[in-house]
């Protein structure tokens, strides 16, 4: 998908064709786009929130979404129409949230807003059943608050992290090897 999020028109054209063909293939084989949405959100999370990787900018995202909407000429009466529109919309909203997070200025006065946007991003991760990404995001928030000696927010982050797990008092799990203290 990153290939389609370039400023080069040919890259956009080929990338859109590939993304659309993959979306159609998923629909034909599974009659559902949930698994594709799950994998796409995971890939976008890695693309947008990994500081060492290239991050598409708002014009590239707008071009991608516009081209994807033009390419998907599915009849409104078709049963694939609503899932396809939902898939494209969800990807667009996630990319917008990730871009907004990157655009927040550095500084303690923006920490609350940054946390708010991270929590909105986490809702996408929960919707696509990717708890490990959500747990990683919350753990990073916890580490950040701990480094700032904001113990109340750190504790609330741990509570939020605990809420992502299914608790079964009967189940026995092996000891955890990470994080190392």
DSSP summary character for residue 181: -
Q: Rounded to whole angstroms, how far apart are CA atoms 98 and 96?
A: 5
Residue (of 52, 65, 116) closest to 91 by Cα position:
65
Q: Rounded to whole angstroms, how far apart are CA atoms 22 and 87?
A: 12
- Mean local confidence (pLDDT), 136-143: 86
pLDDT tens digit sequence for 45-69: 888 888 787 888 899 999 999 898 8
Q: What is the pLDDT of residue 133?
A: 76
More confident residue, 73 or 32: 32
Confidence check: pLDDT of 181 > 60: no
The continuous run of DSSP H or E covering 144 comes out as helix 131-147
Token look-up 């189940």 returns 171
Could you give the C-alpha distances from 148 to 1, 62, 74, 108, 155, in angstroms and in order? 36, 36, 51, 9, 13
Question: pTM higher than 0.85 for the full model?
Answer: no
Residue (of 5, 4, 7) closest to 16 by Cα position:
4
Is the Cβ–Cβ distance between 163 and 119 less than 8 Å? Answer: no
Domain ranges, ordered by start, for the chain: 2-104
Could you give the C-alpha distances from 72 to 20, 33, 65, in angstroms and in order? 7, 14, 11
């Amino acid at each position: 998908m990153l290939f389609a999020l370039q400023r080069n028109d040919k890259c956009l054209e080929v990338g859109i064709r590939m993304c659309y063909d993959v979306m159609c293939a998923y629909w034909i084989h599974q009659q559902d786009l949930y698994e594709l949405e799950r994998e796409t959100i995971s890939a976008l999370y890695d693309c947008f929130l990994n500081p060492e990787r290239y991050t598409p900018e708002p014009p590239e995202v707008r071009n991608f979404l516009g081209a994807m909407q033009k390419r998907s000429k599915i009849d409104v009466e078709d049963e694939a129409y609503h899932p396809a529109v939902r898939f494209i919309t969800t990807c667009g909203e996630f990319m917008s949230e990730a871009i907004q997070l990157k655009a927040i200025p550095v500084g303690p006065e923006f920490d609350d807003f940054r946390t708010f946007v991270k929590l909105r991003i986490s809702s996408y991760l929960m919707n696509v059943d990717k708890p490990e990404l959500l747990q990683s995001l919350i753990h990073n928030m916890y580490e950040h608050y701990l480094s700032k000696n904001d113990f109340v927010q750190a504790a609330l982050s741990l509570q939020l992290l605990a809420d992502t797990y299914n608790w079964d008092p009967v189940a026995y799990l092996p000891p955890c090897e990470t994080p190392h203290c």
